[in-house]
Amino acid sequence: MLLTLIGIGGILFIGGLWLILNILSEYERGVIFTLGRFSGVKGPGLIILIPLLQRMVRVDLRMRVLDVPTQDVISRDNVSVHVNAVVYYRVIDPERAIINVENYIMATSQFAQTTLRSVLGQHELDEMLAERDKLNRDIQAILDEKTDDWGIKVGNVELKHVDLEESMIRAIAKQAEAERMRRAKIIDAEGEAQAAEKFLEAGRKLSAVPEAMQLRYLATLTEVASEKTSTIIFPFPGNIGETLKKLTGGDGDKKA
């Protein structure tokens, strides 16, 4: 009987110590309530509580990663997309995180979902695909401002995937192909215009000196003759002999 009482007493003593003594890690804080009233934030280290009078709620101060479920969003240009994101946040004020909101994790998750739909719905599809950094900053700023009352600091928001329907993917591919063809035609036209300007400039310079025009004429004949052709019909200017005579100093006629 005595051993039984000692055993029961030992269990009660250990249980009492379990209720009285609490150890918080470096990344934890304890929000203390005495008779239901907030009495302070303690930790880390050993925390002593008065049984039945005091209660402690542990709060983790480490950075949390919130995976926002896929949301159906209608863009400003009436395109249906499926978007999901990830939110990085942490508790910076344990008192407000416990007192001002019932469940700060659930509240942050729900607000992130509604904010994601609201912000993306104000932009067109092209902006969603090309300006993700700007959208991330906009969503992060709104979340951080709202959750400040809950003692939450939103550090970063990243859009993970922007998924489109198959028909929209094909339409975007056709649009991209048409855009590439348009650019190719513009580049080709610009090249033709630049070539025409160079040809015009060269023609003006050649026409200023008749001998230069004749030499160009002969150079062209040489280029054509180098091709593998059996017959070449090439117009021969009547004054080319005079040009050769001027260039050779009259020796051409004697040799001929």
Q: Does 165 map to a domain?
A: yes
> How many Å apart are CA 118 and CA 122, to the nearest integer?
7
Q: Does 5 map to a domain?
A: no
Residue 55's domain comprises 14-59
Q: Does 28 map to a domain?
A: yes
Same domain, 150 and 72: yes
Same domain, 33 and 82: no
* CATH assignment of the domain containing 85: 3.30.479.30
Q: Summarize the confidence of residues 36-65 as an average pLDDT.
A: 91
Q: Does 248 map to a domain?
A: yes
CB 147 within 8 A of CB 87: no
Q: Summarize the confidence of residues 107-128 as an average pLDDT.
A: 91
CB 61 within 8 A of CB 91: yes
Same domain, 95 and 147: yes
Going by C-alpha positions, the residue among 206, 205, 211, 208 that lies closest to residue 246 is 211
Residue 11: band (very low, low, confident or very high) from pLDDT cuts 50, 70, 90: low
Percent of the chain at pLDDT above 70? 70
Structure tokens at 122: 């104000």
What is the per-residue pLDDT for 191?
87
In this structure, the number of other CB atoms found within 10 A of the CB of residue 223 comes to 9
Give Cα 60 distance to the centre of its chain. Answer: 31
Same domain, 129 and 88: yes
Q: Summarize the confidence of residues 78-103 as an average pLDDT.
A: 93
Whether residue 101 is predicted with pLDDT greater than 90 in this model: the reply is yes
In this structure, the number of other CB atoms found within 10 A of the CB of residue 128 comes to 20
Same domain, 44 and 102: no
Same domain, 105 and 53: no
Same domain, 91 and 153: yes
237-248: per-residue pLDDT in tens? 555 556 556 656
Q: Does 184 map to a domain?
A: no
Same domain, 154 and 223: no
Spatial CB neighbours of 220, under 8 Å, sequence gap ≥ 6: none
What is the per-residue pLDDT for 214?
63
Number of domains in the chain: 3
Same domain, 55 and 83: no
Last residue of a domain, one of 145, 169, 193: 169
Q: Does 176 map to a domain?
A: no
Its pTM stands at 0.63
Q: Does 1 map to a domain?
A: no
Q: Does 239 map to a domain?
A: yes
